[in-house]
Structure 1
Amino acid sequence: MSRFKSDFLRTLDERGFIHQISDEAGLDELFAKETVTAYIGYDPTASSLHVGHLTQIMMLHWLQATGHQPISLMGGGTGMVGDPSFKEEARKLMTIDMIEDNITSLKHVFANYLDYDRATNPALMINNADWLRGLNYLEFLRDVGRHFSVNRMLSFDSVKTRLDREQSLSFLEFNYMILQAYDYVELNRRTGCRLQMGGSDQWGNIINGIDLGHRMGTPQLYALTSPLLTTSSGAKMGKSASGAVWLNKDLLPVYDFWQYWRNTEDADVIRFAKLFTTLPMDEIDRLAKLGGSEINDAKKILATEVTAILHGRAAAEEAAETARKTFEEGALSDNLPSIEVPKTDLEAGIGLLSLIVRAGLAASNGEARRHVQGGAVRINDESVSDERKLIGSGEVTADGVIKLSLGKKKHILVRPA
């Protein structure tokens, strides 16, 4: 029996999204009686988000699915400053053009989870540059800055951590928390937004916005945070051995995205199914009862469902079929990730270690060497133990490719070009 009466909070609760709420009873009452507008802020520091952002994106999805209005707030203004929260050093400053290009790219990602075109409660993407870039500095100090205590700001963990390590915290970055708090007040004025959501590391910043709103006469504002997510082995979400798990297929092929979820640890499958799919809870409960080798079926369902939301059902099923043929039949598939290598390079011969690095299966020759010495590398399904081996035209199969494998689950097709 859920402690919530509103559909939205009940859904978040049963799926494991809730870490902390500023006024649980008040927010539940608000959601139960009216349509609520809520937002999550994103600094457009890259052209794509990664898997580590998925928890918050799914919170916006469920907000809209239960009849409310989601806002993805793009930090076109704050992104020029950089969030200092728990960062060890200042972020590289970005130009306006870089930020705007990233925002355009990010909207394509959000459009897979949110509906911007529906007649009622359409999702909104708003850029805080709309109000921050035109601020009058003296008026802002007088009207907003006076509500902030420097003593209190210095006590925030995100700031304290930097200062305790004797790392520089610029005045530019110090202003970030004031600008972020002001965003909440401005969004309330423009859209009636009453809730800001985010990861648990953003709690202090969100509470800042609530306090500022109280001092500047907004209605009661609320905060809701989700747990910072790690795998059961303690690894941070959003990273794999080969780098960030991007949500943009130009940066990460659909097949690799599917494989990331297929490789989920046994202990995480049900938790991730609740967080990252839209499967009904009774279906997830059924998956939770699977034991032994059947857990692999649950992993395949997880991978296909997560991939289907982002890349479409057809692409997800194609990735699943590619994996089945590759692992169960040992067949080649055009849908496996591939790289092109000049024919002249192959004719001259490419060092095995160099090819492994070029294919993205290792970050350095040293790492590639360790893979070879550990017996993890195969060429055309044949184990290779000689790290000095040259790979040439003779390895090109009748299919016109060289299949380079690392372990059982990572395969790259090398195509002569």
Structure 2
Amino acid sequence: MDLLQDLEWRGIIYQQSDEEGLKDLLNKESISLYCGTDPSADSLHIGHLVPFLTLRRFQQHGHRPIVLVGGATGLIGDPSGKSEERKLLTVETVQQNAEGIKNQLEAIFEFEGENGAIMVNNYDWTHAMDVITFLRDIGKHIGINYMLAKDTIANRLETGISFTEFSYTILQAMDFLHLYENHNCRMQIGGSDQWGNITSGLELIRKIHPDESKAFALTIPLITKADGTKFGKTAGGAVWLDPDRTTPYEFYQFWINTADADVVKYLKLFTFLSHEEIEQLEVSVQAEPHLRKAQKALAEEMTRLIHGEEALQQAIKISEALFSGDVRSLTASEIKQGFKDVPSFDVDSEFDGNLVDLLVSAKISPSKRQAREDISNGAISLNGEKLTDSNYVLQESDRIEGQYTIIRRGKKKYTLIKY
């Protein structure tokens, strides 16, 4: 099975500008191709991943990926999918965001070797261009009627669109032209919402290089859950690649909680597992769903890819400790990850260690009387161990690395005590 057949099998291809032409080109030679993202935040989230992972699949087949971070286009704002103008970011913010995103993308690609990835920032070739040059050399090749026919523009005409955002698609087209001329880039990959922007690049290349232009576009479908809801959102918001925003443990948990109806699709889209491995996991979903082998494989592959082996093992350790209740085996940094969203209580320097008083102060039990009952009934666990002594006084040894004590009331109600 060749690369395009593999992409079809995985459900990655949504639109192509010239299916037969691309197939012929890939059969003849290795190409350079690119995918870009605007640094509108200082981190990517998992909704950004599939186009870049697709670019990585091309690299595995001998092609050279060009990874573009839009330091210039990020200053303008893509009107795609927006009903109103974006808030403009400062140059400093965009460039700072770009640096953070570049570090995350470096985890996905190989930058060494014959087809090592290239990382570029469109600010480098855009910021010094004066407006007259832009209008004469670029703008004259893009017709107004052509622009108005784009969905991203047409959808905004009633609510209003500024000339700034109207120009976005021209800037992205200019990126494709620049990479075509300077890096022999023959194709752009993007999400299905980028079709209009990508084909503007094809049009610009065709206008400026009419006799030789051989450029292509490929887009990827919008990813949804089996129930039709948007992929990549949780109760806490987006699932970020930045470990300070979404910890590796939370990242791992997101994937391992994937529904049976979605897990095989996600294995195809997001992982580099072989067809045979995915098909075996698909059988497991049907025959032994309680084992959740597919979800574990998905969570392990994705956490390893984005955060590395050490972070993966730490996420697994936290998960197992929380499942078993053996939280004393965790380090302080692991507790910080695993208990990020549970209620917490900061004890002051005058705390004498009395457990009953702590349960009331931390609002774990509503009263001292109830606190004593909870303890004597075995409903209170300290660092995973049940306590039944209502006169218990916490010791220094109850503080994990001197920073935390974990109290559980009942089976699931955790509170993190901080010192």
- TM-score, structure 1 length as denominator? 0.82
- 1:91-102 alignment runs, 5 A limit: 91-102=86-97
In the other structure, the counterpart of 1:343 is 347
Say if 1:87 and 1:299 are closer, same or farther in 2 by CA, change over 3 A. Answer: same
Contact 2:53 2:108 in 1 (8 A): yes
Cα deviations by residue, 1:92-113 (Å, 9 ceiling, x for unpaired): 2122221221121112211111
Contact 1:11 1:62 in 2 (8 A): no
State the 1:405 CA deviation: 8.2
In the other structure, the counterpart of 1:88 is 83
In the other structure, the counterpart of 2:245 is 251
Pair 1:140-2:142 in alignment: no
Say if 1:158 and 1:404 are closer, same or farther in 2 by CA, change over 3 A. Answer: farther
Contact 2:176 2:188 in 1 (8 A): yes
Point out the more displaced range, 315-324 or 27-36. Answer: 315-324
State the 1:277 CA deviation: 1.4
- 1:123-202 alignment runs, 5 A limit: 123-164=117-158, 166=159, 168-202=160-194
In the other structure, the counterpart of 2:416 is 414
State the 1:407 CA deviation: 12
Pair 1:38-2:33 in alignment: yes
Distance 1:269 1:413 in 2: 32
Letter in 1 for 2:206: H
Letter in 2 for 1:183: D
In the other structure, the counterpart of 2:265 is 271
Contact 2:177 2:204 in 1 (8 A): yes
Contact 2:406 2:417 in 1 (8 A): no
Distance 1:88 1:381 in 2: 50
Distance 1:203 1:71 in 2: 18
Distance 1:288 1:52 in 2: 23
Pair 1:54-2:49 in alignment: yes
In the other structure, the counterpart of 1:309 is 305
In the other structure, the counterpart of 2:377 is none
Distance 1:240 1:181 in 2: 34
Letter in 1 for 2:231: M
- 1:219-368 alignment runs, 5 A limit: 219-290=213-284, 291-294=287-290, 296-327=292-323, 329-332=324-327, 333-334=330-331, 335-336=334-335, 337=337, 338=339, 341-344=345-348, 349-350=361-362
In the other structure, the counterpart of 1:208 is 200
Contact 1:61 1:113 in 2 (8 A): yes
Letter in 1 for 2:192: S
Distance 2:350 2:184 in 1: 62
Contact 2:383 2:398 in 1 (8 A): no
CA RMSD of aligned residues (A): 2.9
| Structure whose alpha-carbon radius of gyration is higher | 2
Distance 1:253 1:207 in 2: 37
Question: Equivalent pairs: percent with the same residue?
Answer: 39
State the 1:314 CA deviation: 3.0
Indicate which of 7, 24, 38 corresponds to 1:12: 7
Cα deviations by residue, 1:302-337 (Å, 9 ceiling, x for unpaired): 11111111111232133123212322x222133242
Letter in 2 for 1:32: N
- 1:163 is paired with a residue whose SS is coil
Say if 1:411 and 1:301 are closer, same or farther in 2 by CA, change over 3 A. Answer: farther
Letter in 2 for 1:76: G
- 1:90 is paired with a residue whose SS is coil
Cα deviations by residue, 1:344-403 (Å, 9 ceiling, x for unpaired): 399693567xxxxxxxxxxxxxxxxxxxxxxxxx99799xxxxxxxxxx98x99355454
- TM-score, structure 2 length as denominator? 0.81
Contact 2:192 2:221 in 1 (8 A): yes
Cα deviations by residue, 1:246-294 (Å, 9 ceiling, x for unpaired): 1111221111100000110111111111111111110111001012434
- 2:219 is paired with a residue whose SS is strand
Distance 2:99 2:346 in 1: 34
Contact 2:248 2:311 in 1 (8 A): yes
Gapped regions of structure 1 (runs ≥ 5): 353-377, 383-392
